[in-house]
Structure 1
């Protein structure tokens, strides 16, 4: 497996359809990484909506929403399912971050996390406010995920570095 984007270099830009659960509605729209410049972005690639580990991971990130906000960071969940699946997933679990549909796995391939059978490897990429990749973790098996505390510590280093 290739190592993917290199730390210290610009992160591959992309635009994906998706949506965000606001508590009242699922607001659909396009999300472009370069449009988020000025804030850090946590890209959380996950294999599938409503699977055990993915649900636990995204619920943890949604519960940690204020922690990410305090660090001037956004969290975007990315998986191969379509926007309708993401809407049902977000509604069922109250997920507050954008969930993006990489149905063709083009973004997963750009980040070198596309995987046969499961679609994508569970992975996290931290993009600095300047659009540069600052930290990454790509799981081999994907049975665990990086905690909010781990991501917050890394983001704090980006913000203060």
Structure 2
């Protein structure tokens, strides 16, 4: 079988090479890529946020809470906290320093809660007051310890100047 070349030849007898367009059809590869992306999106578990439920009261409480049931935890610097039962001016349990280990704040919460329950017959209320130099992780640790010890009534409130002065006196 012969091939007919209709293009004119050059004077030197050389044939002009005809360039072929190299075209690759990528449709199948794109289809495969989208199938793989879809597969991995459907089969992977998306990261679920780890958050603690925090229910804050709406409005003011109708009945006042006695100081004999109120434990105040002031968070200071260097991973330390100060706690006292009652009012700072006239505390039922004097201000004490503790840390965030299991034998620190957890033991204090359990002991004071037992003392309050034995004395008043009601549950203890904890006021958590983070200081300016406290770390956010300390607040989270305190909320975790409240959940572990089963204390249901607590509030995060602003720290007062007299609490800041007490923290400074204690060195935290």
Same fold (TM over 0.5): no
- TMscore range, shorter length: 0.3 to 0.5
- Structure 1 length-normalised TM: 0.36
Question: Which has the larger helix fraction?
Answer: 2
Query: Higher relative contact order at CA 8 Å, sep ≥6: structure 1 or structure 2?
Result: 1
* More strand as a share of residues: 1
**Which of the two has higher C-alpha Rg?**
2
